[in-house]
Structure 1
Amino acid sequence: MATLADRLDHLLGRKTADALADAFGMTTVEDLLRHYPHRYATQGAELGDSKPLEGQHITIIAHVEKADEVRMKSRPGTRLAVVLVSDRHKIDVTFFNPHKVKYNIKPGVRGMFSGTVKYFRDKWSLAHPSYVILPEPRDAEIGGAAPARGRVRGAGALAGLARSAQSGDGIDMSIFDRALIPMYPATRDVESWTVMRCVRQVLDQLDTVDEPLPEEVRREHGLIGLDEALRSVHLPDTKEEVARARDRLRFDEAAALQLVMARRRHDVQVRTAPRCPRRGGGLADEFDRRLPFELTAGQKSVAEEISADLAREHPMNRLLQGEVGSGKTIVALRAMLQVIDAGHQCVLLAPTEVLAAQHARSLTTMLGDLAAAGELGAHELATRVTLVTGSMTAARKRQALLDAVSGDAGIVIGTHALIQEGVDFFDLGLVVIDEQHRFGVQQRDALRGRGRDGAAPHVLVMTATPIPRTIAMTVLGDLEVSTLRELPRGRSPIVSRVVPAKVHPAWVDRAWERIGEEVAEGRQAYVVCSRIGDGDADEDAVPGVFELEPEPAGGGKGKQKPPETKSVLQQYEELAAGPLRDLRVGLLHGRLPADEKDATMRDFGAGNIDVLVCTTVVEVGVDVPNATVMVIVDADRFGVSQLHQLRGRVGRGGHQGLCLLVTETKPGTPTMARLESVAGTTDGFALAQLDLQLRREGDVLGVAQSGTVSTLRLLSLVDDVEVISAAQRFARSVTEDDPDLTRHPGLARMVTAALDAEKVEYLEKS
Structure 2
Amino acid sequence: MTSFSLTTDLESVIGVKTTKTLARAFGMRTVGDLLGHYPRRYARRGELTPISTLPVGEQVTIVAEVRSVSTRPMRGRHGVLLEVVISDGAGTLNLTFFNQAWRQNELRVGRQGIFSGKVGEFKGQKQFAHPDYELFDDEEEARSSAEARQHQPIPIYPATSTVTSWQLHKAVLHVLAGLGEVPDPLPEPLRTAEGLLDARTALRLIHAPDRPEDVPRARDTLRMHEAFVLQAALLQQRQAVRELTATARPPGDLLERFDAALPFDRTPDQIAVGDRIAADLQGSWPMNRLVQGEVGSGKTLVALRAMLQVAQTGGQAALIAPTEVLAAQHVRSIARMLGPQLAPELMPTLLTGQLPAAERRKAALRAASGQARIVVGTHALLSASTTFADLGLVVVDEQHRFGVDQRESLRAKGAAPHVLVLTATPIPRTVAMTVFGDLDVSTIRSLPAGRAGISTFVAPVAEKPGWFGRVWERVTEEVAKGHQVFVVCAAIDAAAKDADADAPDAAPVDGESERTRWGVVQVAEMLERDPSFASIRIAQLHGKMAADEKDAVMQAFARADIDVLVATTVVEVGVDVPNASTMVILEADRFGVSQLHQLRGRVGRGSVAGLCLLVTEAAQGTTARSRVEAVAATTDGFALAEVDLELRGEGDVLGDAQSGARSSLRLLRVVTDADVILRARAVAEDVLQDDPPLSRHPELAAAIERRVGREERAALNKN
TM norm. shorter chain > 0.5? yes
Offset of residue 405 of structure 1: 1.8
Distance 1:137 1:250 in 2: 38
Is the aligned partner of 1:358 residue 2:329? yes
Distance 1:723 1:347 in 2: 38
Offset of residue 80 of structure 1: 12
Task: Assess if the C-alpha contact under 8 Å between 1:43 and 1:60 holds in 2.
Answer: no
Is the aligned partner of 1:679 residue 2:632? yes
Offset of residue 204 of structure 1: 1.8
Distance 2:419 2:23 in 1: 39
Tell me, what secondary structure is at the counterpart of 1:503? Answer: coil
Residue aligning to 2:473: 513
String of CA shifts for 1:345-371, please: whole Å, max 9, x gaps. Answer: 212211111111111111111221134
Distance 1:591 1:185 in 2: 39
Residue aligning to 2:430: 470
Q: 1:542 aligns with which of 503, 521, 540?
A: 503
Task: Assess if the C-alpha contact under 8 Å between 2:623 and 2:647 holds in 1.
Answer: no
Task: Assess if the C-alpha contact under 8 Å between 1:183 and 1:192 holds in 2.
Answer: yes
Is the aligned partner of 1:270 residue 2:243? yes
String of CA shifts for 1:604-653, please: whole Å, max 9, x gaps. Answer: 11111111111111111111111010111222222111111111000000
1:258–1:628 distance in 2 versus 1, CA, 3 Å: same
Residue aligning to 1:404: 367
Tell me, what secondary structure is at the counterpart of 2:346? Answer: coil
Q: Report matched runs for 1:307-706 at 5 Å.
A: 307-373=278-344, 382-451=345-414, 455-533=415-493, 534-537=495-498, 540-542=501-503, 545-549=506-510, 562-578=514-530, 579-706=532-659
Offset of residue 13 of structure 1: 2.4
String of CA shifts for 1:38-65, please: whole Å, max 9, x gaps. Answer: 1111246899xxxx9995999997999x
TM-score, length of structure 1 as denominator length: 0.82
Percent of residue pairs identical: 49
Tell me, what secondary structure is at the counterpart of 2:32? Answer: helix
Amino acid at match of 2:335: T
Tell me, what secondary structure is at the counterpart of 1:93? Answer: coil
What number of residue pairs does the alignment pair up? 684
Residue aligning to 2:79: none
Distance 1:214 1:430 in 2: 38
Task: Assess if the C-alpha contact under 8 Å between 2:230 and 2:661 holds in 1.
Answer: no
Task: Assess if the C-alpha contact under 8 Å between 1:540 and 1:617 holds in 2.
Answer: no
TM-score, length of structure 2 as denominator length: 0.87
Of residues 527-536 and 242-251 in structure 1, the stretch that sits farther from structure 2 once superposed is 527-536
Is the aligned partner of 1:240 residue 2:213? yes
Task: Assess if the C-alpha contact under 8 Å between 1:390 and 1:417 holds in 2.
Answer: yes
Distance 2:668 2:680 in 1: 12
Task: Assess if the C-alpha contact under 8 Å between 2:490 and 2:500 holds in 1.
Answer: no
1:33–1:568 distance in 2 versus 1, CA, 3 Å: same
Offset of residue 411 of structure 1: 1.3
Tell me, what secondary structure is at the counterpart of 1:292? Answer: coil
Amino acid at match of 2:634: T
Runs of 5+ consecutive residues of structure 2 not aligned to the other structure? 71-82, 98-102, 117-124
Distance 2:544 2:661 in 1: 27
1:277–1:205 distance in 2 versus 1, CA, 3 Å: same
Amino acid at match of 2:3: A
Offset of residue 466 of structure 1: 0.5
Tell me, what secondary structure is at the counterpart of 1:700? Answer: helix
Task: Assess if the C-alpha contact under 8 Å between 1:61 and 1:112 holds in 2.
Answer: yes
Offset of residue 22 of structure 1: 2.1
Task: Assess if the C-alpha contact under 8 Å between 2:351 and 2:377 holds in 1.
Answer: yes
Task: Assess if the C-alpha contact under 8 Å between 1:751 and 1:760 holds in 2.
Answer: no
Task: Assess if the C-alpha contact under 8 Å between 2:660 and 2:716 holds in 1.
Answer: no
Task: Assess if the C-alpha contact under 8 Å between 1:40 and 1:59 holds in 2.
Answer: no
Residue aligning to 2:3: 2
Task: Assess if the C-alpha contact under 8 Å between 2:185 and 2:225 holds in 1.
Answer: no
Distance 1:722 1:571 in 2: 47
Offset of residue 404 of structure 1: 1.4
Amino acid at match of 2:22: L
Distance 2:194 2:399 in 1: 35
1:254–1:96 distance in 2 versus 1, CA, 3 Å: closer
Distance 1:46 1:99 in 2: 20
Residue aligning to 1:226: 199
Distance 2:627 2:509 in 1: 13
String of CA shifts for 1:300-332, please: whole Å, max 9, x gaps. Answer: 111111111111121111111011221211121
Residue aligning to 1:293: 264
1:576–1:599 distance in 2 versus 1, CA, 3 Å: same
Tell me, what secondary structure is at the counterpart of 2:615? Answer: strand
String of CA shifts for 1:229-282, please: whole Å, max 9, x gaps. Answer: 111111112233211111111112112222221121012101122211222xx1
Task: Assess if the C-alpha contact under 8 Å between 1:531 and 1:540 holds in 2.
Answer: yes
Tell me, what secondary structure is at the counterpart of 1:430? Answer: strand
Tell me, what secondary structure is at the counterpart of 1:408? Answer: coil
Is the aligned partner of 1:193 residue 2:156? no
1:363–1:54 distance in 2 versus 1, CA, 3 Å: farther
Tell me, what secondary structure is at the counterpart of 2:649? Answer: helix
Amino acid at match of 1:326: S
Offset of residue 185 of structure 1: 1.4
1:716–1:140 distance in 2 versus 1, CA, 3 Å: closer
Distance 2:624 2:296 in 1: 27
1:45–1:617 distance in 2 versus 1, CA, 3 Å: closer
Residue aligning to 1:260: 233
Task: Assess if the C-alpha contact under 8 Å between 1:351 and 1:415 holds in 2.
Answer: yes
Amino acid at match of 1:481: V
Tell me, what secondary structure is at the counterpart of 1:546? Answer: coil
Runs of 5+ consecutive residues of structure 1 not aligned to the other structure? 70-78, 85-90, 116-125, 145-172, 374-381, 552-560
Residue aligning to 2:120: none
Of residues 203-212 and 247-256 in structure 1, the stretch that sits farther from structure 2 once superposed is 203-212
